[in-house]
C-alpha cells in the first residue's frame, strides 16, 4: 500500500549509481520513498493498492530541483533593470525599489516567486537574504504553507557600502550589526528545522557592507547553531579589486581568513577567481552557486565552473532574481549552465548534461546540508519528486532523458510536483494556494511600488507604448 504510486516512464534516480530506469516506478508512503524499480515488478504491490496512482508512461520522473540562489524580494522587479551592469543596476534601480518596499509588497513578491518556482519544478531553494522591512515572518510562513522546502538566509551587515563605493546601500535597507544579528537569531529560534522543511541561515552582505569582526562572528555563530551561511562573492571585477586593495588578499583567500569557507557555506557567483582559489574551495569543501543567466545579463563574466568541477568543488545551480535573470525557471537555467562553460573553455565536453543535472539535484542538496533527506530518488529519502511531461515535440524522440532535461526541456514541461510526499502541483495546478489570487496581488503591489517610487513606471524600451 502506498500513498502515491508513480508508474511508467524513465526514472532518473540520481542515486549513487546514477541509475536511469526505463519503464520505472516509484512508491511513496508517509512522505518518504518506499520503493523504486521496474514498473512490472512494483505494479504487483502498488498499482491497485495505492491512494493515488499517477500514469507517467510518457514522462520523466526525477528528483525535485534545488535552486541555490534566490531573491524572493525581487519578484516584482522583473524588467525593471535591463541593460545595466551590476553597480548601476543595484545603485539606481534595485536597491531604491527594495529599500522602499512595504511588507505587503515584499510578501506579494515572495508569493509570486514561490509560484513560479513550483510551476517550473523547484522543490527546494536557498533565499539569499531577508531584511527587516520585508516582514520576514509572513514570508517564511507562506513558504512553509506552500509546501516547499527552503533555507532562508537573513541579511547581516554593519556597514553600508559595496566594494569601494561607500554608503551605496539604500537607506531603507541599512541595518546595524546588532539589529541584523539579533533578528537572524530570533528567526532561527522561531523557524529553524520546522517540519524538516524550513532552515534559517546567515546571509552576510558582500565585502564593503560587513566588517571583518562581524564576518568572524557570523562564522562562529553559524558553527555554534549548526546552520549555514550564504554570500555573494567575486561577482564582478570590482569585488576582486576592492578586496585586494583593502585586505591584500584574493576573494577566496579573504573569505577563508574570516571563516566564510567550509561545508556549511554557499558562495554565490565567484566569477573572478583563479586556480589557486579554486583549490582553496575544494580543500575547504566550500559550496558554490553558479548563476549563468545573471552573470550573462549583468555582464559580470563567466565563472570557471568546468575547472571547479574538475578540481572537486561542489557546484550547484541558482537562478538569482527576476531583474537579473527575468526568470526563476531552473530547468531553463540548465542549458545555459552547460553552454556557457563550453564557450569559456572552447571544449564541447567540458561540462556534460550529467554534470548539470547533478548541480540541480544532489549537489544542491549537499550545498544545503540536506543530502540525507533529498536530492535523489532512493528508498528512505523524503519524496521530493517532479514528473516532466515528455509527450512534447521538443522532447522527442524519447531516447535520452538526461540530454533532453538539460538541453531541450522547459519549466512549463513539469506536470506534477511532490514535496515531502504531498502533491503540491497536479496537472500544472498548484494545490496549496490560489495561484490566480497570487498573480492579482503581485500586479497590484507592483503598480503601487512603481507609482510611489517613480522607477519602472514605464517600460524601458526603444519602442513606443501607446
Residues 84, 379 contacting (CB under 8 angstroms): no
- Report helix, strand or coil for 414: strand
- Tens digit of each residue's pLDDT (9 = 90 or more) over 4-35: 999 999 999 999 999 999 999 999 999 999 99
pLDDT of residue 289: 99
- The DSSP call for residue 64 is P
Peptide bond into 397 cis (omega under 30): yes
- Mean pLDDT, residues 229-242 taken together: 98
Cell numbers 530570533 correspond to: 186
| Longest Cα separation, the chain | 68
- CATH 3.20.20.140-classified regions of the chain: 65-367
- The DSSP call for residue 464 is -
pLDDT of residue 88: 97
- Mean pLDDT, residues 26-46 taken together: 98
- Mean pLDDT, residues 324-328 taken together: 98
- Mean pLDDT, residues 266-295 taken together: 99
- Tens digit of each residue's pLDDT (9 = 90 or more) over 48-106: 999 999 999 999 999 999 999 999 999 999 999 999 999 999 999 999 999 999 999 99
- CATH 2.30.40.10-classified regions of the chain: 2-63+377-430
Pairing of strands 414-419, 422-426: antiparallel
pLDDT of residue 6: 99
Give the Å distances, CA to CA, from 110 to 291, 321, 336, 344, 441: 19, 11, 25, 34, 11
Residues 288, 265 contacting (CB under 8 angstroms): no
- Report helix, strand or coil for 173: helix
How far apart CA 245 and CA 194 sit, in angstroms, is 43
How far apart CA 269 and CA 303 sit, in angstroms, is 7
- Mean pLDDT, residues 288-299 taken together: 99
Pairing of strands 122-130, 414-419: unpaired
- Mean pLDDT, residues 147-168 taken together: 97
Question: For the whole model, what pTM was predicted?
Answer: 0.98
Give the Å distances, CA to CA, from 236 to 74, 180, 258, 271: 20, 26, 20, 7
Does residue 433 carry a pLDDT above 90? yes
Q: What mean pLDDT, rounded, does the chain reach?
A: 98
- Tens digit of each residue's pLDDT (9 = 90 or more) over 379-395: 999 999 999 999 999 99
CB atoms within 10 A of CB 440: 12
Q: Which residues pair with 151 in a beta bridge?
A: 126, 199
Q: Which residues pair with 59 in a beta bridge?
A: 389
Does residue 1 carry a pLDDT above 90? no
Residues 6+ apart with CB under 8 A from 241: 163, 164
- Mean pLDDT, residues 235-261 taken together: 98
How far apart CA 201 and CA 221 sit, in angstroms, is 10
CATH code matching the domain that covers 2-63+377-430, chosen among 1.20.1560.10, 3.40.50.920, 3.40.50.970, 2.30.40.10: 2.30.40.10
Q: Terminal CA-to-CA distance of the chain, rounded, Å?
A: 60
Dihedrals φ, ψ of 271, to 5°? -80, -45
Cell numbers 523524503 correspond to: 382
- Tens digit of each residue's pLDDT (9 = 90 or more) over 97-131: 999 999 999 999 999 999 999 999 999 999 999 99
How far apart CA 352 and CA 329 sit, in angstroms, is 20
How far apart CA 152 and CA 203 sit, in angstroms, is 9
CATH classification (class only), 65-367? alpha beta
How far apart CA 249 and CA 429 sit, in angstroms, is 50
Tally of CA atoms within 13 A in the half-sphere of 310 that contains its CB? 10
Amino acid at each position: 500500500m502506498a500513498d502515491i504510486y508513480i508508474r511508467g516512464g524513465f526514472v532518473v534516480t540520481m542515486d549513487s549509481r546514477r541509475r536511469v530506469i526505463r519503464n520505472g516506478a516509484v512508491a511513496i508512503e508517509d512522505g518518504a520513498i518506499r520503493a523504486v524499480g521496474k514498473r512490472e515488478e512494483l505494479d504487483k504491490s502498488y498499482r491497485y493498492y495505492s491512494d493515488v496512482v499517477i500514469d507517467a508512461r510518457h514522462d520523466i520522473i526525477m528528483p525535485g530541483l534545488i535552486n541555490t540562489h534566490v531573491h524572493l524580494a525581487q519578484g516584482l522587479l522583473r524588467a525593471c533593470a535591463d541593460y545595466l551592469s551590476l553597480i548601476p543596476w543595484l545603485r539606481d534601480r534595485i536597491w531604491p525599489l527594495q529599500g522602499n518596499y512595504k511588507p505587503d509588497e515584499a510578501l506579494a513578491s515572495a508569493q509570486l516567486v514561490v509560484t513560479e518556482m513550483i510551476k517550473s519544478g523547484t522543490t527546494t531553494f536557498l533565499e539569499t537574504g531577508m531584511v527587516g522591512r520585508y516582514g520576514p515572518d509572513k514570508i517564511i510562513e507562506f513558504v512553509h504553507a506552500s509546501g516547499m522546502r527552503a533555507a532562508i538566509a537573513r541579511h547581516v551587515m554593519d556597514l553600508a557600502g559595496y566594494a569601494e563605493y561607500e554608503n551605496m546601500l539604500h537607506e531603507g535597507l541599512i541595518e546595524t550589526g546588532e539589529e541584523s544579528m539579533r533578528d537572524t537569531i530570533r528567526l532561527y529560534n522561531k523557524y529553524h528545522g520546522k517540519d524538516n522543511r524550513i532552515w534559517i541561515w546567515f546571509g552576510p552582505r558582500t565585502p564593503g557592507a560587513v566588517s571583518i569582526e562581524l564576518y568572524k562572528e557570523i562564522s562562529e555563530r553559524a558553527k555554534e547553531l549548526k546552520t549555514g551561511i550564504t554570500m555573494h562573492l567575486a561577482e564582478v571585477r570590482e569585488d576582486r579589486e576592492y578586496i585586494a586593495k583593502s585586505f591584500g588578499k584574493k576573494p577566496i583567500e579573504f573569505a577563508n581568513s574570516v571563516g566564510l569557507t567550509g561545508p556549511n557555506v554557499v558562495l554565490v557567483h565567484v566569477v573572478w577567481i583563479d586556480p589557486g582559489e579554486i583549490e582553496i574551495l575544494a580543500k575547504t569543501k566550500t559550496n558554490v552557486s553558479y548563476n549563468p543567466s545573471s552573470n550573462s545579463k549583468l555582464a559580470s563574466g563567466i565563472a570557471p565552473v568546468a575547472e571547479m568541477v574538475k578540481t572537486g568543488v561542489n557546484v550547484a545551480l541558482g537562478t538569482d532574481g527576476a531583474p537579473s535573470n527575468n526568470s526563476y525557471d531552473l530547468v531553463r537555467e540548465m542549458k545555459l549552465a552547460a553552454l556557457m562553460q563550453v564557450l569559456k573553455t572552447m571544449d564541447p565536453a567540458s561540462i556534460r548534461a550529467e554534470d548539470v543535472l547533478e548541480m540541480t539535484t544532489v549537489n544542491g542538496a549537499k550545498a544545503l546540508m540536506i543530502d540525507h533527506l533529498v536530492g535523489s530518488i532512493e528508498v528512505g529519502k523524503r519524496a521530493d519528486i517532479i514528473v516532466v511531461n515528455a509527450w512534447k515535440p521538443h522532447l522527442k524522440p524519447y531516447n535520452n532523458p538526461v540530454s533532453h532535461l538539460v538541453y531541450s526541456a522547459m519549466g512549463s514541461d513539469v506536470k506534477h510536483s511532490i514535496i515531502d510526499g504531498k502533491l503540491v502541483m497536479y496537472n500544472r495546478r498548484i494545490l496549496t494556494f490560489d495561484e490566480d489570487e497570487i498573480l492579482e496581488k503581485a500586479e497590484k503591489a507592483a503598480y503601487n511600488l512603481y507609482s510611489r517610487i517613480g522607477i519602472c513606471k514605464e517600460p524601458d524600451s526603444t519602442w513606443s507604448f501607446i
